[in-house]
Amino acid sequence: MEVTLEESGIASLVNQASNYLMNDSVPGLSGSLHPNIAPYGETFKCKDGKPVVLAIGNNFHFEKMCRLLKATQIAENPNYSDNQNRLKNRPQLAEELKAAFAKMNRTEIMDAMIAENVPVGAIKTLEEVFAEQTAKDMILESEMEGRKTRRVSGVGFRLS
């Protein structure tokens, strides 16, 4: 099997590429935002200042998220009734969600969302990442030229 970095990068453009190839739509800068789904890629700070990122791809998850955030009025707003409306009203939706996320701590949000299978991720600092056992298990220690070194394994998979 062979794959190039360039081919991987082009393949990751699947949504933007489809919009371009089908409609000659050249997107502006959008960071992590999904071009066709909202809220997907949006990041929000929680009450404790810690950020999360959303991957809400359907109405079911959107309504669950709003319920868990104790913000059912957002899900009931006709401007957000479906993905097409959420895309059209993305900036206003983001402002309303920003206020909802700011009322709860990240741990509380993550625990509730994970328990209900709502796709959300915690955006962590390196300190937070390396406080967890998975990351600790990937640390390689050795001595090089008389100096103790520490680095993370460049292999993120194992053969079983």
Identify which of 151, 122, 132 has the alpha carbon closest to the alpha carbon of residue 50.
122
What 3-state DSSP class applies to 93? Answer: helix
User: The domain at 33-123 falls in which architecture?
Assistant: 2-Layer Sandwich (3.30)
Residues ≥6 apart with Cβ < 8 Å to 24: none
Other CB atoms closer than 10 Å to residue 46's CB: what's the count?
19
For residue 64, what pLDDT band results from cuts at 50, 70 and 90? very high
Identify which of 117, 6, 137 has the alpha carbon closest to the alpha carbon of residue 64.
117
pLDDT the model gives residue 25: 85
At 158, list the tokens. 């194992």
CA atoms within 13 A on the CB side of 145: 0
Using alpha carbons only, give the angle 45, 46, 49 rounded to the nearest 5 degrees.
Answer: 70
For residue 158, what pLDDT band results from cuts at 50, 70 and 90? low
Delimiting residues of CATH 3.30.1540.10 domain(s) in the chain: 33-123
pLDDT the model gives residue 108: 98
